Amino acid sequence: MRKKEEFLRFFSMALSALLSAGVPLLKSLQILAAQQESAAFKKTLEGVAEKISHGESLSRSMEQYPSYFPGLITGLILIGEKTGTLPQNLQKIAKICEKNLTLKLKMISALTYPLILFGLTILGTILLIKVFVPQFVPVFAQNQGALPYPTRFLLFISNLFSSSFFWIFLLLLLAFSIFLYSLIQDYKINLGAILLFLPFIREIVKKGTACQITSTLSIAYSAGLPLSKALELTADILDHPTFQELIQNARLTLIRGEKLSSFFLENSNLIPSYLGHMMAAAEQTGRVDILMTKCTKILEEDLSYLMDQFSALLEPGILIFMGGIVTFIMLAVFLPMYGILHSI
């Protein structure tokens, strides 16, 4: 997904620059196709160029590659073709892709260090049990009956790690996990809904998605799309099925003649409440693009603060976990030795 957004951002910015410089559309697409390192992206642009050479419009040609060009993108391209503002709308598309990439990179960067730390903790624990503990096994064997419970448990784990059946079981478990993941992908099970049950993660997902919604609505509306169409196309680019359904229901609410702000306020469990209040102000003034842009800035600041908080809480938690494991191993090793020395 990230590579596709990077491709779309590059494609939109480069095509806008070429068209603004007076290069014909077909020639511009051929130039961009030649620059692609990815065979899939190169083939896609060549396919679009070929269809344009046969007389089709850019938007119609791109619609035939929905996995690379979502509905929002082709919708903005179509508006640009009709109004003569194609280079400007391509810049708006690049801005959408850039905002989506920035949001995802923020989330990834907040999780990367804690996850690396957690992985190193697990690896260090395995090495301690595999290398350090076996050195003391002969000592423990002499006092098997008098060993404290932490030491018995540590020896059990050490023997487990030394068993070939344990590693075969782990490999089978890994294979089953891969199979289960592919099954979830095939049947489109809403795995993302699980994240909405996790206390801190829930707020990050909510504000991150709301930020994506407001920035997309602002750009689509300012490009000339009606609000109902902007909502329809916004739902297409969201990754989370729960929020896709929410925005589709919001569009139906708008079509029925009801206020969009009321719908957002009624669903404050998924959408931040001030988004509903901002939309109410937008409905009164008609300045949806300006107010949604302001709302995006507020959400970006809130999301950045939440991500910093998340990292600040997670890192010491993992360090405490790591310290607890090391302390347990040390106690399990030295408690029986202390007993032996005390008896002497």
Q: What pLDDT is attached to residue 104?
A: 74
| pTM over 0.85, yes/no | no
Q: Nearest-CA neighbor of 192 among 204, 174, 175? A: 204
More confident call, 270 vs 201 = 270
More confident call, 337 vs 340 = 337
Domain that holds residue 13: 2-69
Is 77 domain-assigned? no
**Exposed, middle or buried, 163 (CB in 10 Å: 0-12/13-18/19+)?**
exposed
Reading the block at residue 38, the tokens are 């990815």
Final residue of a domain: which of 48, 69, 90? 69
Contact 87, 20 (CB under 8 A): yes
Query: 132 and 199: one domain?
Result: yes
CA distance 178 to 170: 12
More confident call, 106 vs 62 = 62
Q: Nearest-CA neighbor of 46 among 63, 28, 29? A: 29
Question: What is the number of structural domains in the chain?
Answer: 2
Final residue of a domain: which of 49, 69, 89? 69
Query: 131 and 238: one domain?
Result: yes
CA distance 3 to 27: 24
196 pLDDT above the threshold of 70:
no
Query: 206 and 297: one domain?
Result: yes
Query: 199 and 323: one domain?
Result: yes
pLDDT in tens, 165-191: 877 888 888 888 787 766 655 544 455
More confident call, 247 vs 307 = 247
First-to-last C-alpha distance (Å) of the chain: 66
Final residue of a domain: which of 69, 85, 115? 69
Is 291 domain-assigned? yes
Percent of the chain with pLDDT over 70: 89
Q: What pLDDT is attached to residue 189?
A: 46
Q: What pLDDT is attached to residue 187?
A: 46
1 pLDDT above the threshold of 60:
no
- Give one DSSP letter per residue of 166-207, joined into a string: HHHHHHHHHHHHHHHHHHHHHTT--GGGGGGGSHHHHHHHHH
Is 22 domain-assigned? yes
Residue 215's CB is within 10 A of a number of other CB atoms, namely: 25
Query: 133 and 20: one domain?
Result: no
φ, ψ for residue 272, nearest 5 deg: -55, 140
Averaged pLDDT, 219-226: 80
Residue 77's CB is within 10 A of a number of other CB atoms, namely: 25
Contact 37, 6 (CB under 8 A): no
- Give one DSSP letter per residue of 32-66, joined into a string: HHHH--SHHHHHHHHHHHHHHHTT--HHHHHHT-T
pLDDT in tens, 19-75: 888 889 899 989 998 888 888 888 999 999 999 988 888 988 988 888 888 877 888
CATH of the domain at 263: 1.20.81.30
CA distance 271 to 206: 6
Query: 38 and 118: one domain?
Result: no
Query: 297 and 203: one domain?
Result: yes
Mark out the alpha helices in the chain (DSSP H runs): 2-20, 25-35, 39-53, 58-63, 71-83, 86-127, 137-141, 149-162, 164-186, 199-222, 227-237, 241-255, 260-266, 273-285, 288-343
How large is the angle between the packed helices 199-222 and 288-343, nearest 10 degrees? 160
Q: What pLDDT is attached to residue 249?
A: 92
Contact 76, 93 (CB under 8 A): yes
Query: 155 and 112: one domain?
Result: yes
Is 11 domain-assigned? yes
Is 93 domain-assigned? no
Is 249 domain-assigned? yes
In the block, which residue shows the tokens 């060993």?
147
Mean pLDDT taken over the chain: 80
Is 91 domain-assigned? no
Query: 52 and 106: one domain?
Result: no
CA 324 to chain centre: 31
Q: Residue 4 corresponds to which amino acid? A: K
Query: 291 and 339: one domain?
Result: yes
pLDDT in tens, 111-151: 677 778 778 878 877 777 777 777 777 766 666 556 778 88
More confident call, 28 vs 84 = 28
**Exposed, middle or buried, 159 (CB in 10 Å: 0-12/13-18/19+)?**
middle
Q: What pLDDT is attached to residue 183?
A: 63
Cα–Cα distance list, 330 to 125, 131, 163, 340 (Å): 12, 14, 23, 16
Query: 41 and 153: one domain?
Result: no
218 pLDDT above the threshold of 50:
yes
Contact 5, 67 (CB under 8 A): no
CA distance 144 to 222: 76
Query: 219 and 257: one domain?
Result: yes
Is 252 domain-assigned? yes
